[in-house]
Amino acid sequence: MKRLDSVQSPEDLRKLPEEELVPLSGELREFIIDIVSAKEGHLGASLGVVELTIALHYVFNTPHDKLIWDVGHQAYGHKILTGRRTRFNTNRQFGGLSGFPKREESEFDAFGTGHSSTSISAIVGMALAARLKGDLEREHIAVIGDASIASGMAFEGLNHSGVLDANLLIILNDNAIGIDPSVGALKRYLTNVKKGTAKEENIFECLNFKYSGPIDGHDLPAVVDALRKMKEIKGPRLLHLITTKGKGLKQAEENQIVYHAPGRFDRKTGELTPSASSGLPLKYQDVFGKTLVELAEKNELIVGITPAMPTGSSLKFMMEAYPERAFDVGIAEQHAVTMAAGMAAEGLIPFCAIYSTFLQRAYDQVIHDVALQKLPVIFCIDRAGLVGQDGATHHGIYDLAYLRCIPNMTIFAPMDERELRNIMYTAQQGLENPLAIRYPRGKGVNQDWRTSFETIPLGSSRELVTGSSIAVLSIGHIGNEVTEVLNSLGNPKEIGHYDMRFVKPLDEARLLDIFSRYEKIVTLEDGCLSGGFGSAVLEFANIQKFTGRIHCLGIPDRFIEQGTVEELRKEAQIDQEAITRCLIQLLHEVR
């Protein structure tokens, strides 16, 4: 029987003799590789903390002692050791385990994560709570990576906790990489610390942390020993570990960017399984990245910005072509947005590439630094809509609502790659106000994506199909589902289809024409119903006293968990079946 099979919980783990821990780490590592090779997911980060995970649950009395995993993509070993081994093959699947720590999933998941740099603030809260409740023995541990600790929110937590006598231990898991190589002065400092050439005072000791390290994070006995020593000290402490992302799988160590989330791979060879996501149609992110380079060739005012996602956003193409005009600012969405505002204030044309869900971190900056000052920042909002297996923490379903309420904002959603290229071309001609362009994760719909540029009039829409009594108004990529549904219904003459293109400003002339010619309207968006595109149409229809029926399809007011995009669209009732049901019902009503 494998040692791992005998560990149903950390309590079982803590009964093992210490000499069993290294063999156990080998089994845990193999288990993770087995599952992720077949079921996909985040690989490199979890492989990098196998020893740390075992040591933490061995030394500390979890779940009484609180343990938070920053981002949480590295918590596969944690989940496997805390009673979820037999269910781990459901990781990131519909109805299965979340790919990130989640309070409702286990008492061992002290705090839900998914967005980076929250762990220190959360663990400080818990440590202060323990102190106020008189539980002075309880330990509070946050594991945070070298890229995540460089984020503003993490520094806020460090700054505050350094002056508290709360019981907290921060484990800096330093592998010198985020998804892409980490950036910035802290990276340079940590590199020097690891080389022993740092001339400065220890930055963490300057913030009143008792600092220990750096030590080899894969030397399990050394990690156990270091944790035991840290456990004997009270107050704010920081243990600095040096690890290798992807440790234990040759390809994952050598190609850390790809193996952060490699997709399926051959369990024996470690080689990637060729996936359908390569080839044509291109991914929207690649259309964005390649088009930006094309535009930047002719327009030297164009600059690109990404907060730590050069590969994920495909800004990497611009960084390769024009390194002096493309900036990875690290996990720093707030800084990215306001830096873009500063650039726009000086006449540059900043394309700020940020995932929809991560832009939530910089909401005040969009309002206060960009829109209020009418600075023409171009937000290229990738991963808009339901994203799939990353689940509730990562769906980009609020941007239409959270941007629509901001004055001076223009919001565009391309229905396909050609529309994305044309709005980017239009934007770099010069704007009076900020522009948000939102597009989904994954592939486009056209084999031929590099089409010639055309200018898109701001606030314009497109009549794709003329109808007589039912008008479907879609926004963005979800409009392609309508085309499929109309084809499957035999293109009934009653149904018209309009790609509205802009949530703000709405094409009011088009809407007035639709109100005059149709008795039923369906709005469709890959976004939340509350405050989104449908709400905008309802508001305008009410002002115009439209007396027809408006049926809004969009994501309901609840969190949507993980699964395939198809499963989740069905769950949210914005899949082709739901659209078909709605249209058949309306056809009955008008016939």
Ligand X SMILES: CC(=O)[C@@H](O)[C@H](O)COP(=O)(O)O
Ligand Y SMILES: Cc1ncc(C[n+]2csc(CCOP(=O)(O)OP(=O)(O)O)c2C)c(N)n1
Active site residues: 245, 333, 361
Interaction partner, residue 441 (Mg ion, ligand Y, ligand X, none; CB < 5-8 Å by kind): ligand X
Pattern of binders to ligand Y over 234-263, x per CB under 6 A?
Answer: -----------x------------------
Name the minimum Å distance from CB 145 to ligand Y. 2
Asked whether the beta carbons of 329 and 339 are under 8 A apart, the reply is yes
Pattern of binders to ligand X over 407-446, x per CB under 6 A?
Answer: ----------------------------------x-----
Q: How far apart are CA 366 and CA 352, in angstroms?
A: 11
Instruction: Determine if 175 is a binding residue for ligand Y (CB under 6 A).
Output: yes
Segment near ligand Y (CB under 6 A); pick from 18-26, 143-151, 559-567, 568-576: 143-151
Q: How far apart are CA 375 and CA 349, in angstroms?
A: 10
Instruction: Determine if 115 is a binding residue for ligand Y (CB under 6 A).
Output: yes
Q: How far apart are CA 433 and CA 374, in angstroms?
A: 5
Asked whether the beta carbons of 127 and 167 are under 8 A apart, the reply is yes
Token readout for 179 is 């998804």
Asked whether the beta carbons of 411 and 403 are under 8 A apart, the reply is yes
Between 183 and 413, CB nearer to Mg ion: 183
Interaction partner, residue 553 (ligand X, Mg ion, ligand Y, none; CB < 5-8 Å by kind): none
Binding ligand X (rule: CB under 6 A), the pick from 56, 171, 172, 179 is 179
Positions in 271-310 near ligand Y (CB under 6 A): 308
Between 4 and 43, CB nearer to ligand Y: 43
Name the minimum Å distance from CB 119 to ligand X. 14
Between 48 and 289, CB nearer to ligand Y: 48
Strand extents, DSSP E, 260-348: 302-306, 326-328
Segment near ligand X (CB under 6 A); pick from 193-201, 386-394, 415-423, 544-552: 386-394
Name the minimum Å distance from CB 528 to ligand X. 19
73 assigned ligand-binding residue: yes
Q: How far apart are CA 337 and CA 307, in angstroms?
A: 9
Interaction partner, residue 361 (ligand X, ligand Y, Mg ion, none; CB < 5-8 Å by kind): ligand Y
Instruction: Determine if 359 is a binding residue for ligand X (CB under 6 A).
Output: no
Instruction: Determine if 45 is a binding residue for ligand Y (CB under 6 A).
Output: yes
Whole-Å CA distances, 359 to 42, 232, 354, 428: 22, 41, 6, 21
Binding ligand X (rule: CB under 6 A), the pick from 96, 263, 289, 312 is 312
Token readout for 448 is 């031929």
Binding ligand Y (rule: CB under 6 A), the pick from 43, 56, 71, 169 is 71
333 assigned ligand-binding residue: yes
Q: How far apart are CA 306 and CA 350, in angstroms?
A: 11
Between 60 and 358, CB nearer to ligand Y: 358
Instruction: Determine if 77 is a binding residue for ligand X (CB under 6 A).
Output: no
Between 181 and 531, CB nearer to Mg ion: 181
Asked whether the beta carbons of 217 and 51 are under 8 A apart, the reply is yes
Q: How far apart are CA 265 and CA 216, in angstroms?
A: 28
Interaction partner, residue 331 (Mg ion, ligand Y, ligand X, none; CB < 5-8 Å by kind): ligand Y
Helix (H, G, I), strand (E, B) or coil at 475: coil
Name the phi and psi angles at 145, rounded to 5: -85, 170
Cβ contacts of residue 323 below 8 Å, gap of 6+? none
Whole-Å CA distances, 358 to 237, 327, 331, 398, 522: 29, 17, 10, 11, 30
Instruction: Determine if 329 is a binding residue for ligand Y (CB under 6 A).
Output: no
Task: Name which of 335, 382, 341 is nearest 362 in CA terms.
Answer: 335
Interaction partner, residue 414 (ligand Y, Mg ion, ligand X, none; CB < 5-8 Å by kind): none
Q: What is the DSSP secondary-structure string of 500-550? A: --EEES--HHHHHHHHHH-SEEEEEEEEESTTSHHHHHHHHHHHTT--SEE
Interaction partner, residue 370 (Mg ion, ligand Y, ligand X, none; CB < 5-8 Å by kind): none
Q: What is the CA radius of gyration of the chain?
A: 26
Question: Which residue, chain included where needed, has tokens 């009732």?
Answer: 573
Interaction partner, residue 75 (Mg ion, ligand Y, ligand X, none; CB < 5-8 Å by kind): none
589 assigned ligand-binding residue: no
Cα–chain center distance at 490: 38
Between 180 and 417, CB nearer to ligand Y: 180
Name the minimum Å distance from CB 390 to ligand X. 5
Asked whether the beta carbons of 353 and 380 are under 8 A apart, the reply is yes
Positions in 386-445 near ligand Y (CB under 6 A): none
Instruction: Determine if 500 is a binding residue for ligand Y (CB under 6 A).
Output: no
Token readout for 530 is 């509350």
Mark 573-591 as b/e (b = at least 16 C-beta within 10 Å): ebbeebbbebbeebbeebe
Binding ligand Y (rule: CB under 6 A), the pick from 124, 127, 172, 331 is 331
Cβ contacts of residue 461 below 8 Å, gap of 6+? 498, 499, 500, 501, 502, 507, 510
Helix (H, G, I), strand (E, B) or coil at 223: helix
The H or E element that residue 412 is part of is strand 410-412
Q: How far apart are CA 54 and CA 77, in angstroms?
A: 8
Between 36 and 521, CB nearer to ligand X: 36
Segment near ligand X (CB under 6 A); pick from 165-173, 325-333, 383-391, 520-528: 383-391
Instruction: Determine if 74 is a binding residue for ligand Y (CB under 6 A).
Output: yes
Q: How far apart are CA 392 and CA 559, in angstroms?
A: 6
Binding ligand Y (rule: CB under 6 A), the pick from 10, 77, 99, 178 is 178
Instruction: Determine if 475 is a binding residue for ligand X (CB under 6 A).
Output: no
Helix (H, G, I), strand (E, B) or coil at 345: helix
Token readout for 98 is 């979340």
Pattern of binders to ligand X over 126-165, x per CB under 6 A?
Answer: ----------------------------------------
116 assigned ligand-binding residue: yes
Binding ligand X (rule: CB under 6 A), the pick from 122, 130, 224, 261 is 261
Q: How far apart are CA 50 and CA 74, in angstroms?
A: 9
Annotated binding site for Mg(2+): 146, 175
Query: Which residue positions form the known binding site for thiamine diphosphate?
Result: 73, 114-116, 147-148, 175, 333
Residues that bind ligand Y (CB under 6 A): 45, 48, 71, 73-74, 115-116, 145-148, 173, 175, 177-179, 245, 308, 331, 358, 361
Q: What is the contact surface with ligand X in residues (CB under 6 A)?
A: 42, 71, 73, 179, 261, 312, 383, 387, 390, 394, 441
